[in-house]
Amino acid sequence: MSDPRASAAPQPDGSHPRMTEAAALPGRPRGGVIGGPATDRAVNVLAPNPSAMTLDGTNTWIVAEPDSGLAVVIDPGPLDETHLARVVETAAQAGKRVALTLLTHGHPDHAEGAARFAELTGTKVRALDPALRLGDEGLAPGDVITTGGLELRVVPTPGHTADSLCFHLPADRAVLTGDTVLGRGTTVVAHPDGRLGDYLDSLRRLRSLTVDDGVRTVLPGHGPVLDDAQGAVEFYLAHRASRLAQVETAVEDGYTTPSEVVAHVYADVDRSLWPAAELSVRAQLDYLEEHGLIW
């Protein structure tokens, strides 16, 4: 789920009309294509659910070792029979059988189709949230998925939601980020389930992967692949600091309720997107209050 101020469709020159304050920040990520092969082990099947909040649609990822007949699918996406069948067919055309389904988090655009996909493939569904699981095994920080010789490391990244996870794919120096880092724009901190302090910690954790583990590529839940993972995470951290400063200034100027802050900070955004913007603003107000910056 994208931040409505930072996810507007690109202009013909590639610019984003609602990223003016973010464009000057360090590390603006560089995006690649959407759909199809992204790395040696990851292929994207784009779901047909584009919107202001899902960008081009949900990226369903098929991940497998090149010489293995087994594949893992991450985020089957919405309950769309055509899309789910296309994911199975894409894997089969590559000589792969889907052997496991994983979820980055429980938002419907990522997880609604998981139960039906499990029926189609005969797989278990593993997730952090027990309510989303099909089978006895869940996911926990530090878990390593080894299906078909694959190595996927589970990275805890709460903040967008409490149950958000990323998956580190060491062999491709890549990380699958769900909604924690998007291929375009920035993500919503979905208050009250999402918390800004957790989200900032998660971004720092991802930055450590880029510095200490050599992660170079972001395979996001929405938008194009990013080929500068460290730049993307640095951009997100700087953007969050900038946005937090805007909200703090708005409160100092007398805009005290979430709706007032949204109307001031997001004045140039279509009003239909203000409810989503208010989620992030509420999370930021909570953060500022917790840290004694407003009262």
> Chain-wide mean pLDDT for the chain?
89
Q: Centre a 10 Å sphere on the Cβ of residue 143 and count the other Cβ atoms it contains.
A: 17
Q: How far apart (Å, rounded) are the C-alpha atoms in residues 200 and 238?
A: 10
Q: How far apart (Å, rounded) are the C-alpha atoms in residues 91 and 62?
A: 7
Q: Is 60 helix (H, G, I), strand (E, B) or coil?
A: strand
Long-range CB contact pairs, 274-278, < 8 A, 24+: 274/4, 276/1, 276/3, 276/4, 276/53, 276/188, 277/3, 277/4, 277/5, 277/188
pLDDT (0 to 100) of residue 269: 81
The residue extents of the domains of the chain are: 20-247
pLDDT (0 to 100) of residue 23: 34
Q: Tell the CATH topology of 20-247.
A: Metallo-beta-lactamase; Chain A (3.60.15)
Q: What are the φ/ψ torsions at residue 73 (nearest 5 degrees)?
A: -110, 130
| pLDDT tens digits for range 176-227 | 999 999 999 889 999 999 999 999 999 999 999 999 999 999 999 999 999 9
Residue 123, both tokens: 């797989």
Q: Is 170 helix (H, G, I), strand (E, B) or coil?
A: helix
This prediction has a pTM of 0.89
Q: What percent of the chain has pLDDT over 90?
A: 80
